[in-house]
A and B are shown apart, each in its own frame.
Chain A
Amino acid sequence: MIRFENVTKRFGSFVAIDNLSLDIYEREFFALLGPSGCGKTTMMRMLAGFENPSEGNIELDGADIVDVPPNKRAVNMMFQSYALFPHLSVHDNIAFGLKREGMAKDKISARVAEMLRLTRLEKFASRKPHQISGGQRQRVALARSLAKAPKLLLLDEPLGALDKKLREETQFELMDIQEKTGTTFVIVTHDQEEAMTVASRVAVMDAGVLKQVATPSQIYENPNSRYVADFIGDVTILEGRARKEGNRYELAWADGQPPIVAQSALEIGPGDTCYYAIRPEKVEIHHDKPEDDNVLQGKVIDIGYLGNISTYHVQLANGQTIRAQNFNTERSTQQAFTWDDTVWVNWTDRCGILLAN
């Protein structure tokens, strides 16, 4: 439905978006994820029509939209700062776009009432934006941008200003609304958990380029680069040289440590430098030496207690730290492992992922 074709955006000599191509499909909940300044807002502003690409085209439903002004696009945006009109009531804020369309009065009030119900704001219809709370404001902004039933809704860090609990609630509300209305959503966030929760597909950006575009689980379990692996979730990354051994690779990564075995479809030449990423929840920790594909010995140097899980930082003889997570299934204040314990960490050959770059 949306197609970016070799889009480049420059501000002066600074390249904010670098030759980027991307397809976003109908009825999708698409998340743009990336560190601050990587060009997420710039992408949104190009979709909304506030910025023009320096090169390349942007298509919406097969038609080039680069020269279409923002007021003529079937695209609405929910602004990072909400941008509610302070002189209008909640009701009039939501009705604003409909009035511009020249919709009949009774139809407008029906539509506004529907939006108020959807966002549970019925009680606040006559209030001004500064007379309601932050979370309510955010819902007004959402209702306003949804009211015109756009083909595409852009959400620029919509939940940035909310506290954690409200944010989680709103995430589910957003998903609910997206399903009910069938609108295509593009959401910008730099909160990776949020992207994983709400989106059907996630794009990880870095400095104006797309690093990977995939479903949340693919991004998490099959990152295509160190950058993506490191950006999403917790991970330990080791560097070494891989040698093919049957259908597996053996990664020589440190002197005096056994090689790490890993299954991978990747083609890596003998002697090429490659990387190995392993997530802490895939690593087991034991007092006695276990049987497994990868078994390493080390010492507990740090423990992160999170209630439901604990993360152990295990330092190996060569100084490398591997993180392992354990569910605290038993209710006791006595931890199974404590500082300076000598322990074994182990995982199978399918737990980690081999990366070429």
Chain B
Amino acid sequence: MRRMSGFNMIALTLGFAFLYIPMVILVIYSFNESKLVTVWAGFSTKWYGSLAQNQQFLDAAWVTLRVAFFSSTIATVLGTMAAYALIRSGRFLGRTLFSGMIYAPLVMPDVITGLALLLLFISIGLDRGILTLVLAHTTFAMCYVSVVVSSRLMTFDLSLEEAARDLGCTAAEAFRLVTLPIIAPAVISGWLLAFTLSLDDLVIASFTSGPSSTTLPIKIFSSVRLGVSPEINALSTIMIGIVAVGVLAASLVSKRSLVKRQADEAAAVRAEAA
């Protein structure tokens, strides 16, 4: 490996320090013995224990997980279908408009998305609860999924689908038997991304959740207003862990299929030479 120049080293250190010092502090204080957040009084895991006793937090966690699971699953199905239609259907009237529109929610401020959804739910008389949360999260996560999947489909060799058709598949069978298995890594990382986005979301959730469906981020946010407790630190540490695992898994899934492929190809070349 090439040695890094001094400047690069400093830039990298500063960048990472900026990103991670706040989180590291939070993690450290979650193991603090003292009830006072800013005073270090020795190592302890007791806050994790008391967290496990806190029914309110456990309920919120359960809501969050359910919402994340359902919304990311629905978003993955819809997002994949949207991506497929946009990439495959060739030029149809207004295609550019549609592909632009699918990206728009990505840059839309969450507050506006949340407000719009809230107005929608009120106007159709839908009571706010888990259902509205799932719908709201599906809406914005779907865009992320379709971006991930469509970038994979962009490089997908169309002749593979034609070959499947040629060998007796209907268009739907060709998608199920050939396209889907091949783009599966992208679909899975889309799902993981959608899942972590839903776990994280505070703004949209606060517009669309009801009293019976408080999510963890909302719970944390509202408890912090009464003062930061070490329990919150412990909870946040767990969430950081889950999100980190999710994001890492998403990138590993796509990375691993690539690496495996390269290793296989290298092996084939070596076998050839021998």
Give chain B residues whose Cβ lies under 8 Å from the Cβ of A144: 163, 167
Residue from the list A79, A83, A100, A130 in contact with B168, Cβ < 8 A:
A100
Give chain B residues whose Cβ lies under 8 Å from the Cβ of A97: 167-168
B178 to chain A, nearest CB (A): 6
Q: Is B44 an interface residue (CB 8 A)?
A: no
Q: Is A128 an interface residue (CB 8 A)?
A: yes
Residue from the list B159, B162, B167 in contact with A96, Cβ < 8 A:
B167
Known: A70-B166, A83-B163. A132 touches B268 (CB 8 A): yes
Contact at A100–B173, with CB atoms within 8 Å? yes
Q: Is B182 an interface residue (CB 8 A)?
A: yes
Q: Which residue of A lies closest to B184 (CB)?
A: A87
Contact at A83–B267, with CB atoms within 8 Å? no
User: How far, in whole Å, are A76 and B162 apart by their CA atoms in the complex?
Assistant: 11
Give chain A residues whose Cβ lies under 8 Å from the Cβ of B267: 131
A53 to chain B, nearest CB (A): 18
Contact at B165–A130, with CB atoms within 8 Å? no
Contact at B162–A130, with CB atoms within 8 Å? no
User: How far, in whole Å, are A70 and B166 apart by their CA atoms in the complex?
Assistant: 5
Q: Is A148 an interface residue (CB 8 A)?
A: yes
Give chain A residues whose Cβ lies under 8 Å from the Cβ of B164: 85, 96
B191 to chain A, nearest CB (A): 18
Contact with A along B227-267 (1 / 0, CB 8 A): 00000000000000000000000000000000001001101
Contact at A100–B157, with CB atoms within 8 Å? no
Give chain B residues whose Cβ lies under 8 Å from the Cβ of A145: 166
Give chain B residues whose Cβ lies under 8 Å from the Cβ of A80: 159
Give chain B residues whose Cβ lies under 8 Å from the Cβ of A86: 182
B187 to chain A, nearest CB (A): 13
Contact with B along A208-241 (1 / 0, CB 8 A): 0000000000000000000000000000000000
Binding site for A on B (CB under 8 A): 157, 159-160, 162-170, 173, 177-178, 181-182, 261, 264-265, 267-268, 271-272
Q: Is A353 an interface residue (CB 8 A)?
A: no
Q: Is A133 an interface residue (CB 8 A)?
A: yes
Q: How many residues does chain A have at the interface if contact means C-beta atoms less than 8 Å apart?
A: 29
Give chain A residues whose Cβ lies under 8 Å from the Cβ of B272: 133
Overall SS of chain B's interface: helix
Contact with B along A127-147 (1 / 0, CB 8 A): 010111100000000001100
Contact at A130–B268, with CB atoms within 8 Å? yes
User: How far, in whole Å, are A75 and B162 apart by their CA atoms in the complex?
Assistant: 13
Residue from the list A69, A76, A87 in contact with B182, Cβ < 8 A:
A87
Give chain B residues whose Cβ lies under 8 Å from the Cβ of A75: 166
Contact at A100–B162, with CB atoms within 8 Å? no
26 A–B contacts, CB within 8 A, in A order: A48-B162, A48-B166, A50-B162, A69-B165, A70-B162, A70-B166, A71-B166, A71-B168, A75-B166, A76-B166, A77-B166, A79-B163, A83-B159, A83-B162, A85-B160, A85-B163, A85-B182, A87-B181, A97-B168, A100-B169, A100-B173, A128-B264, A131-B268, A131-B271, A144-B167, A148-B167
B252 to chain A, nearest CB (A): 19
Contact at B265–A130, with CB atoms within 8 Å? yes
Give chain B residues whose Cβ lies under 8 Å from the Cβ of A71: 165-170
Give chain A residues whose Cβ lies under 8 Å from the Cβ of B162: 48, 50, 70, 77, 79, 83
Contact with B along A83-118 (1 / 0, CB 8 A): 111110000000011001100000000000000000
12 other contacts beyond A48-B162, A48-B166, A71-B167, with CB at 8 A cut-off?
Answer: A70-B166, A75-B166, A76-B167, A81-B157, A83-B157, A83-B160, A84-B163, A85-B163, A97-B168, A131-B264, A131-B268, A148-B167
Give chain B residues whose Cβ lies under 8 Å from the Cβ of A130: 261, 264-265, 268
B176 to chain A, nearest CB (A): 12
User: How far, in whole Å, are A84 and B157 apart by their CA atoms in the complex?
Assistant: 10
Give chain B residues whose Cβ lies under 8 Å from the Cβ of A100: 167-169, 173
Contact at A70–B165, with CB atoms within 8 Å? yes
B59 to chain A, nearest CB (A): 42
Give chain A residues whose Cβ lies under 8 Å from the Cβ of B169: 71, 100
User: How far, in whole Å, are A232 and B16 apart by their CA atoms in the complex?
Assistant: 66
Give chain B residues whose Cβ lies under 8 Å from the Cβ of A69: 165, 170
User: How far, in whole Å, are A75 and B163 apart by their CA atoms in the complex?
Assistant: 12
Give chain A residues whose Cβ lies under 8 Å from the Cβ of B182: 85-87
Give chain A residues whose Cβ lies under 8 Å from the Cβ of B170: 69, 71
User: How far, in whole Å, are A114 and B264 apart by their CA atoms in the complex?
Assistant: 27
User: How far, in whole Å, are A69 and B166 apart by their CA atoms in the complex?
Assistant: 9
Residue from the list B159, B165, B177, B178 in contact with A81, Cβ < 8 A:
B159
Give chain B residues whose Cβ lies under 8 Å from the Cβ of A49: 165-166
Give chain A residues whose Cβ lies under 8 Å from the Cβ of B157: 81, 83
A237 to chain B, nearest CB (A): 39
Give chain A residues whose Cβ lies under 8 Å from the Cβ of B178: 85, 87
A326 to chain B, nearest CB (A): 41
User: How far, in whole Å, are A84 and B167 apart by their CA atoms in the complex?
Assistant: 12
Give chain B residues whose Cβ lies under 8 Å from the Cβ of A96: 164, 167, 177
User: How far, in whole Å, are A42 and B181 apart by their CA atoms in the complex?
Assistant: 29
User: How far, in whole Å, are A24 and B268 apart by their CA atoms in the complex?
Assistant: 40
User: How far, in whole Å, are A145 and B164 apart by their CA atoms in the complex?
Assistant: 11
